[in-house]
Structure 1
């Protein structure tokens, strides 16, 4: 870790919009989304939640959050998202939007 990163909290969030073309029920969608969330959590150690399109069969939006002691750690996680999701041929990534920021150790008083 770089010396000037000491005590800083680097964090990143992403929204991943998905198309699930072979799904024909909410039950099928929920199973596929649940498996995708588990894969992201296991492979990346990040927090994941379904954040949009809960009542649409073939669409889903996932919110993903990660924290690291370095900017490189956050970038590494966010850069791998799409590849991990697309391992399942039943899932198509439509869009990924991410934001990275840093929280300093000594906030102004």
Structure 2
């Protein structure tokens, strides 16, 4: 049986952030929610020292590539509903 890995990397801004502490608070909320609700592996992968910018990546595993695509798309839609961030770039890949 084959396994597929869905990867998504997003670049986002946190316009209301005035410090790294503000940004980390927002990111912690996002990371915790993605992990709990969607059972994903999630990490901040770039822009760690920027106050208003963040790069996060998340991944899922499934026996069907369409399931990976659906999970990642649902996560991106959820991110788009958040009023405290703005998505700048989204890149997905199924391996």
The TM-score by the shorter chain falls in which range? Answer: over 0.9
| Other-structure match for 1:70 | 64
| Other-structure match for 1:35 | 29
| Other-structure match for 2:12 | 18
Q: 1:84 aligns with which of 78, 82, 91?
A: 78
Distance in 2 (alpha carbons) for counterparts of 1:76 and 1:13: 12
Give 5+ residue unaligned stretches, structure 1. Answer: 1-6, 102-109
Distance in 2 (alpha carbons) for counterparts of 1:29 and 1:47: 20
Output the aligned Cα RMSD: 1.0
- TM-score, normalisation: structure 1: 0.82
When the two structures are aligned, how many residues end up with a matched partner? 95
Secondary structure of the 1:86 match is helix
Q: Which stretches of structure 1, 4 residues or more, deviate above 6 A after TM superposition?
A: none
Q: Is the CA contact 1:13–1:98 (under 8 Å) kept in the aligned structure 2?
A: yes
Q: Is the CA contact 1:39–1:84 (under 8 Å) kept in the aligned structure 2?
A: no
- TM-score, normalisation: structure 2: 0.94
Give 5+ residue unaligned stretches, structure 2. Answer: none
Distance in 2 (alpha carbons) for counterparts of 1:60 and 1:36: 11
